[in-house]
Amino acid sequence: MNIVTLLPFIVLIGAMFLMTRSAKKKQQAAAQMRNEMQAGTGVRTIGGMYATVKEVHDETVLLEVAPGVHAIYAKNAIGAVIADEEYNRILDGADPLHADEPVVPDDASSLTAGAATGKGDKIDLGKAETPAAEPAGDKPAAEAEDTKAAGDAKDSVKADADTAKDDKKSGDDEAK
């Protein structure tokens, strides 16, 4: 047989060897971590529950999941042994590393204007503010100006439409 035909098989076997070797190292590290577990340390189970180790046996661990509440878990169910500082930070809910960052609320109730401003006002959606109250004598003049402006705008649109019609007609006449 030629070496070129055997090369893909050799590469495949080498890749499988490397993958199983790294997986075996991870398993050994996890087993060592579980064997070095001591009473009083904080752990996270593979299910994501945080607890304190009370007793360590050959195949099982007694965990205190809440004050006065104990549960027996298999050693294989321990996902990570957590350092004391990290465990206390998780239990207390304090995060000194990110204390200056804004806290994202669990619900949207604090995102409303009433909660954000401390008032019960509605959120302004970009509508223009109404001008301050004007004297009664000036109000009809202002309304007349608004009406005149609206009328001018309509006239302008109508004139543009008429011009477009005329252009279309003259274009049709030129084509004939």
pLDDT number for residue 51: 92
In the predicted model, residues of the chain with pLDDT beneath 50 are 116, 173, 175-176
Amino acid at 93: G
CA 163 to CA 60: how far, in whole Å? 91
Question: Per the structure block, which two tokens stand in for 84?
Answer: 């004391």
The predicted-structure confidence for 29-46, as pLDDT tens digits, reads as follows: 888 888 888 888 899 999
2: nearest Cα among 10, 78, 102: 10
pLDDT number for residue 176: 45
pLDDT number for residue 98: 60
CA 63 to CA 52: how far, in whole Å? 6
Could you give the angle at the alpha carbon of 126 between the alpha carbons of 124 and 127, nearest 5°? 90
pLDDT number for residue 113: 53
User: Measured on CA atoms in the order 33, 38, 43, 47, is the torsion positive or negative?
Assistant: positive
CA dihedral 34, 38, 44, 50 (to 10 degrees): 160
pLDDT number for residue 70: 94
pLDDT number for residue 23: 87
